Structure 1
Amino acid sequence: MSDGQSISVNFSREMPLFPLDAVVLLPQQVLPLHIFEPRYCQMINRCLDGSGQLAVAVVRDGVADLSGNPPLKPAVCVAQIVQHESLPDGRYNILLQGVCRARIVREEPPSQDRLYRCALLEPIGEPNPESEHLYGLREWLEAELSEGPLHHFAVAEHVVEYVRNEEVPNSAVLELVSFALLTDPALRYRLLAEGDLDQRAFLVRSELQELARLISLAEHQRPEMWPKGCSWN
């Protein structure tokens, strides 16, 4: 994980839109993708000739679309192509890293020579790595992931290393925890769309506290206490 905030983004230019249905990319997160649709192969080809950046968008739920360009939610994650492999048939394997939050201001449909959508974006929120809420969250995370119920997460040991590393900014720790421990797409989109760092810290801690409560409850449940036909697996 690198400091995505060190990557500059030119918000005065339109950004290619790469929509995903059930995946929400967050800043700092790394996402591997296999690109095979001709329109998105064209997008990646042009991105690699330029800044290497695109906006990962989220498809709006429950909206029927027959055009192949489904409506998108307003919040997006600007991403950088950090690795790519060009395949002989024109497809790509790419590795994206989330850079920052942004909002769609104006969307441009595909054109005669551009098969994909673009959008003019504006940044969401301002980073505040020294937030008091983040210091408290960092201390709580270290305790919960080391000895508390959250140590059951498969990635707990890896996350604790970043939490303890004082060279990793508080804001980056919050992003890491968000994408490493929280998997619900609706919650992840709320975190993507939320520009206030303290509010994101509150959302993350509230969700993890509830998960810790459920894990602790499961640890103390005996098989005879389970509902018939159910277990905590």
Structure 2
Amino acid sequence: MTEAIRVNFGRPLPVFPLPDAVLLPHAIQPLHIFESRYRQMIDECLDGSGQIAIASFEGAGWRDDYDGHPSLRRAVCVGQIVQHEALEDGRHDILLQGICRARIVRIIEPQNGRTYRQVDLAPLEAVSSSPPPMKDIRDELRQMLTNPRLSRLRAVDTVMEWFDRDDVSTHSLLEFIGFALLKDCELKYRLLAEANPIRRAGIIKDELASIDRLVRRAQRQPYEAWPKGMAWN
């Protein structure tokens, strides 16, 4: 794995809320930045640490207050800009890599020419502690993902490449599985907001078991009767 990137929790970070995406640690998220306030955010971020807190909106009311001060959910993922391309009219294409979980302590509204919000953060997980090895969980997940049904799901082949790598901890593997295989944003937010990796593993195993049952039922039905959106190749 790449060298660990540190976050200075003593300083505020810019916050970028997304309506239909949740970033998890280790995952890579491409983003196209076009709003003027977030173009300013990227310009200033590139002159600093290159780190952004990726948040999600609280409830549905954000649509009516998008240009104002919509409520944000407390759990965020701190992301690092790892690739950047400046486009015409000040727009940006970036790749953001998730670094760590955090929670919002305070929202700092725009002021003094800054048009985007910032947040004071606290880590959700102990910064100095190493995650448990969780070998049994790793073996159980491998067994689940190599069964004839789940092994045909999209992205499983990519995920399985990480299992045999000694430099990929089970803690990191959980993040890869959550980001690559679990598509529901609410479920991903549960993973983001859960500080305990063993409980995160439980969430993932429960969802994989649910997908397995759904695929089993779908296989018994004619193609026309499959649940909408079901595909595994």
The normalised TM-score by structure 1 is 0.90
Is 1:116 the counterpart of 2:116 in the alignment? Answer: yes
Is 1:38 the counterpart of 2:40 in the alignment? Answer: no
1-structure distance, mates of 2:178, 2:50: 25
Is 1:24 the counterpart of 2:19 in the alignment? Answer: no
Q: Which residue in the other structure is 1:103 paired with? A: 103
2-structure distance, mates of 1:20, 1:3: 26
Equivalent runs, 1:69-218 vs 2, <5 Å: 69-126=69-126, 128-131=130-133, 134-218=134-218
Q: Which runs of 5+ in 1 are unaligned?
A: none
1-structure distance, mates of 2:103, 2:11: 14
- Greater shift in the superposed pair: 156-165 or 116-125: 156-165
Q: Which residue in the other structure is 2:53 paired with? A: 55
Change (3 A) 1:184 1:3: farther
For residue 167 of structure 1, report the CA deviation from its aligned partner: 2.0
Q: What amino acid is aligned across from residue 165 of structure 2 in structure 1?
A: N
2-structure distance, mates of 1:222, 1:95: 40
SS at match of 1:56: strand
1-structure distance, mates of 2:150, 2:215: 8
Q: Which runs of 5+ in 2 are unaligned?
A: none
- Residue pair 1:128, 1:197 contacting (<8 A) in 2 also: no
For residue 112 of structure 1, report the CA deviation from its aligned partner: 3.1
For residue 222 of structure 1, report the CA deviation from its aligned partner: 4.0
For residue 58 of structure 1, report the CA deviation from its aligned partner: 0.3
SS at match of 2:161: helix
Q: What amino acid is aligned across from residue 56 of structure 2 in structure 1?
A: V
For residue 3 of structure 1, report the CA deviation from its aligned partner: 4.7
For residue 68 of structure 1, report the CA deviation from its aligned partner: 3.0
- Residue pair 1:102, 1:121 contacting (<8 A) in 2 also: yes
Q: What is the percentage of aligned positions where both structures have the same residue?
A: 44
- Residue pair 2:17, 2:55 contacting (<8 A) in 1 also: yes
For residue 100 of structure 1, report the CA deviation from its aligned partner: 0.3
Is 1:14 the counterpart of 2:25 in the alignment? Answer: no
Q: Deviations over 1:160-192 (max 9, x none)?
A: 110122221111101101101111111110110
- Residue pair 2:154, 2:181 contacting (<8 A) in 1 also: no
Q: Which residue in the other structure is 2:225 paired with? A: 230
SS at match of 1:116: coil
- Residue pair 1:25, 1:98 contacting (<8 A) in 2 also: yes
The normalised TM-score by structure 2 is 0.90
Q: What amino acid is aligned across from residue 213 of structure 1 in structure 2?
A: R
Q: What amino acid is aligned across from residue 43 of structure 2 in structure 1?
A: N
- Greater shift in the superposed pair: 61-70 or 173-182: 61-70
SS at match of 2:167: coil
SS at match of 1:162: coil
- Greater shift in the superposed pair: 17-26 or 134-143: 134-143
Q: What amino acid is aligned across from residue 129 of structure 1 in structure 2?
A: P
